[in-house]
Amino acid sequence: DAKTTQPNSMESNEEEPVHLPCNHSTISGTDYIHWYRQLPSQGPEYVIHGLTSNVNNRMASLAIAEDRKSSTLILHRATLRDAAVYYCILRDRRTSYDKVIFGPGTSLSVIP
């Protein structure tokens, strides 16, 4: 399974943008990049995913490097409710029934 590396923790001020990095140097051509987040005392929730092009949705943006060896999850204006653990995950698109491998993730703190 291809692995990802993320910083253990990050801090952001409320209402400022947050850039959460993820390195995946061994990514294969068939791997999608997924992001999930887990708020305190809750199960993980899907945030966004992409393959090659940058992606935007109502929650966040995903910027993918041209060589696909790294990506960045962008929260445009951090709120206190964004304080969570963020997981960057690779998923092989060749199969629908693959296992999702979570690393330790990045714990994001948002300062009021």
Partner 1 sequence: DAGVTQSPTHLIKTRGQQVTLRCSPKSGHDTVSWYQQALGQGPQFIFQYYEEEERQRGNFPDRFSGHQFPNYSSELNVNALLLGDSALYLCASSLNLVYEQYFGPGTRLTVT
The site for partner 1 (CB under 8 A) is made up of 32, 34, 36, 42-46, 49, 85, 87, 91, 93, 96-105
- β-strand partners of 31: 92
HSE-CB of 24 using CA atoms within 13 angstroms: 29
77 versus 93: smaller Cβ distance to partner 1: 93
Q: Return all residues near 34 (Cβ < 8 A) that are at least 6 apart.
A: 46, 48, 49, 88, 89, 90, 91, 100
Query: What secondary structure letter does DSSP report for 51?
Result: S
14 versus 45: smaller Cβ distance to partner 1: 45
Minimal distance in Å, beta carbon 43 to partner 1?
3
Minimal distance in Å, beta carbon 66 to partner 1?
23
Minimal distance in Å, beta carbon 82 to partner 1?
18
Minimal distance in Å, beta carbon 25 to partner 1?
19
39 versus 77: smaller Cβ distance to partner 1: 39
6 versus 12: smaller Cβ distance to partner 1: 6
Are residues 23 and 85 in contact, defined by beta-carbon separation less than 8 angstroms? no
| Whole-number Å distance between alpha carbons of 75 and 82 | 9
